[in-house]
Amino acid sequence: KQEVTQIPAALSVPEGENLVLNCSFTDSAIYNLQWFRQDPGKGLTSLLLIQSSQREQTSGRLNASLDKSSGRSTLYIAASQPGDSATYLCAVTDSWGKLQFGAGTQVVVTP
- Footprint of other proteins on this chain (CB under 8 A)? 31-32, 34, 36, 41-46, 49, 51, 89, 91, 93, 97-99, 101-104
CA-to-CA distance for 73 and 101, rounded, in angstroms? 13
Q: CB-wise, 35 or 71, nearer to other proteins?
A: 35
Alpha helices in the chain (DSSP H): none
Gap between the Cα atoms of 104 and 37, Å rounded = 9
| Least gap, CB of 16 to other proteins (angstroms) | 30
**Among 31, 30, 11, 4, residue whose Cα is nearest residue 84:** 11
> Could you give the CA distance from residue 38 to residue 17 in angstroms, rounded to a whole number?
20
- Least spacing, CB of residue 42 vs other proteins, in Å: 6
Closest distance to other proteins from the beta carbon of 59 (Å)? 12
37 versus 80: smaller Cβ distance to other proteins: 37
Nearest CB to other proteins, comparing residues 42 and 111: 42
